[in-house]
Amino acid sequence: MITADDLLRLTKRALKNKRLIVGIQREPYMHVKTDDGIKVEKTAGGAHTLLDGILKQVNGVMVALASGDADKLVVDEKGRIKIPPKEKNYTLKRIFLSKKDYDGFYYGFANQTLWPLCHVVFIKPVFSHEWWNAYVKVNQEFTNAILDEVGAEEALVWINDYHLALVPQMLKEKNPKIRIGTFWHIPWPTYEVFRICPWRKQIIEGLLGSDFIGFHRGYHVENFIECSRRELEVIVDSEPRSVTYKNHHTKLENIPAGIDYHEIKARLENQKPPTEKLIKKDFGFDYEFLAIGVDRIDYTKGLIERLNIIDRFLEKYPKFKEKFVYLSIAAPSRTRIPAYKDLNKQIEEKIEEINAKYSIGGWKPIHFINKIFLREKIFSYYQLADLCMVTSLDDGMNLVAKEYVICAPAEKGALLLSKFTGAAKDLRSAFLINPYDIDGTVDALLQALTMKKEERAKRMNEMKAVVKENNIYDWAMKFIEKTVSDF
């Protein structure tokens, strides 16, 4: 099993005294104005925790968009500040955008064009030239900020996710000595889907400026290669998988992301084990069987399909009335985008319909909590749940499934997991389901709730071992190794 220390040793060895620069859309710390002055807040995200640990060991630089209302007041003339707040051992370089540019880049092209284009869930992407221009402009801002740090020197640059698809090519054109690794966390669709994008060629060219591109799933690698082959004059090698375009060689591989097993286990050990009284205290209901879902409100997560599954489950197996409760913890997300507003309304209406249909006395089958919780609270709820439901329609990975596996007691937990998640490739002892197949999923739900303790423990322990072994450090180590080979 790879540890944090293993990863740090590899990173230092791989850099050979060169600089490490990370380009990521969201900053790890933001400065906000309060009545007591300026305070610093840590933003959420597993990637930030990992990158924070690496960068502070090698005095690296993270380039990210400013998000706090006091961010500009604490940086130097180049937008830089030393972080983390107490240790101050690496640099955060902030990019400040106008509201128009940010909206076009983030709420427009990134999340109304690329997101629905790459997640095949039958939501139509919006193609706007204004949004595309904002996306190009912001990618150029990231490129300029990275070059401002690197200059003409050699460096290792880690580009994170779909927000920055054009940066690799922009960087290579200005400084060919930079070694670039890009990780694309969301799915990559088939060419039949991707070809509808008016800027498909520019996006592929942008990514092919990378020396290595990582995806979570093998067929996303194959889809990207096929799109490259159909759009550009490329040479494709099969072993190892690579694409050569304009004499530049880009390696590709699927590296499924993990989570920080030991960090979560340490949190659990520092918490008092929860009892069923916690659910009663926090949400006001009793239960015999508790199912939990923890999601952002997003059309890729199959939330309406999950509600239809619960509806059919109670209809088909009425003996679970007054016993089974589904707790939906759904964080608000991208609420300025019409498709997300509409989804929130559909969810609330569907829950109201199901609860009206089945409620008896003080019992109702679904409790919907539309807010963000601290991770410690979520981990406590995981420990109490008999079942976690992950019904994504298309998902690069899904780390909720892996967090639940760590937290749930082996003799109590069970995981109902969509086949359309990257996590399904790792967690083969879950109940793997097709969320479009309502009756098939209902039968799997019944089996998950009623299986013998021995089978429950066997399945959970097998998944726990996989999550422990294939952790976040293993993922990052493989990514860095692939990026820096021959560097």
Q: Which residues are catalytic?
A: 185, 395
Give dist(CA 3, CA 472) in Å, integer: 9
Contacts of residue 115, defined as CB under 8 A and 6 or more positions apart, other chains included, come to 162, 186, 300
Q: Which residues have CB under 8 Å from 385's CB, separation 6+? A: 290, 291, 292, 327, 404, 408, 413
Which pair of structure tokens corresponds to residue 10?
């590899």
> How far apart are the C-alpha atoms of 143 and 95, rounded to whole Å?
11
Q: Which one, of 259, 321, 333, 325, lies nearest residue 292 by Cα? A: 325
At residue 286, the 3 state secondary structure works out as coil
| Alpha-carbon span 473 to 478, nearest angstrom | 8
Contacts of 269 (CB under 8 A, 6+ apart): none
Strand partners, 320: none
Q: Which residues contact 349 (CB under 8 A, 6 or more apart)?
A: none
φ and ψ at residue 74, rounded to 5 degrees:
-115, 0
Q: How far apart are CA 61 and CA 59, in angstroms?
A: 7
Q: How far apart are the first and last CA of the chain?
A: 26
Residues in the chain: 487
Per the CB < 8 A criterion, the answer to whether 139 and 206 are in contact is yes
In the DSSP assignment, the letter for residue 111 is: I
